[in-house]
Amino acid sequence: MTGTDTICQFVDTIVDEYITTKKKIRVDFFKYLQSEDIDRKSINEYTSDRIHFITDVIDEVEGALNGDKILSEAYGCYKTSELKELKSLLDRFVSDVEKYKNSKKITRRKKVKSPEQLTRALNLIDKPVIIEGEKYNPIPKVEIIDAKSVFLINVKTNELLFLSGKKLSCSGAKIVNYDESISGMKKIKKIDETIKSVLSSTNITCSTLFNNFPNKVKPVPKTVSPNYFLIRLIK
């Protein structure tokens, strides 16, 4: 016997019992389907090819309850309360079948990208930079993923980019998930002094430090150009 046949036989037995006794039947259709371990193929087949026999009866009972002359005569052997109970029984069955079907759906896990994959399109300076005679080694861009705050310096335009959020990430050539209200970019004059101040900052003081730098805050650029290097990062 197939899984579909098992479902049909069970619901027929339950309906026949109600028709015979006209007494309320306490049955958990969902638990029954679980106990029989009806497979995904069978439940899908039942809902697409067989369940309409039950939904058709539900429609007929509803019509009788609503006063349809022909259907009222067809179900004339039932009291109104009995018809309501029959409809409730079948409604529960249809609902539990749908619930069980959904429980059997294959949940496709979204592939989690590695930091290397997330930062692949982000081009930053990855070699040591000499500024005012001082050598600075950029932090690897993969460290941006899940960081709370980052400082980047554009060595061509002397601009300091500050981004802060709960968990920063990358999308293409963009750094994303930053808080726009506290992030921004500023033109800096004394780049060597700025770098030293940035390197000594903490997670608590980095936002204040950025705000205390002179010059107006500019909006964060849509993409990060290859002229930036990552000088400070706070996890």
Q: Are residues 126 and 90 in the same domain?
A: no
> pLDDT at position 203, please?
65
> pLDDT at position 204, please?
65
Q: What's the pTM? A: 0.55
Tell me the mean pLDDT in the region 43-63. 92
DSSP 3-state assignment of 186? Answer: strand
pLDDT tens-digit profile of 90-124? 999 999 999 999 998 877 777 888 999 999 998 99
- Domains identified in the chain, total number: 2
> pLDDT at position 71, please?
92
Q: Are residues 98 and 178 in the same domain?
A: no
Tell me the mean pLDDT in the region 191-216. 80
Q: Are residues 147 and 170 in the same domain?
A: yes
What values do phi and psi take at 118, rounded to 5?
-65, -30
Q: Are residues 126 and 225 in the same domain?
A: yes
List of residues 6+ apart from 221 with CB closer than 8 A? 161, 185
Task: Answer for the pair 100, 46: CB distance below 8 angstroms, yes or no.
Answer: no
Report how far residue 30's alpha carbon sits from residue 14's, in angstroms, rounded to the nearest whole number: 14
Q: Is the pLDDT of residue 43 over 90?
A: yes
Going 50 to 52 to 54 to 56, the CA torsion angle's sign is negative
In this prediction, residue 12 has a pLDDT band, given cuts at 50, 70 and 90, of very high
Q: Are residues 67 and 122 in the same domain?
A: no
Q: Are residues 51 and 97 in the same domain?
A: yes
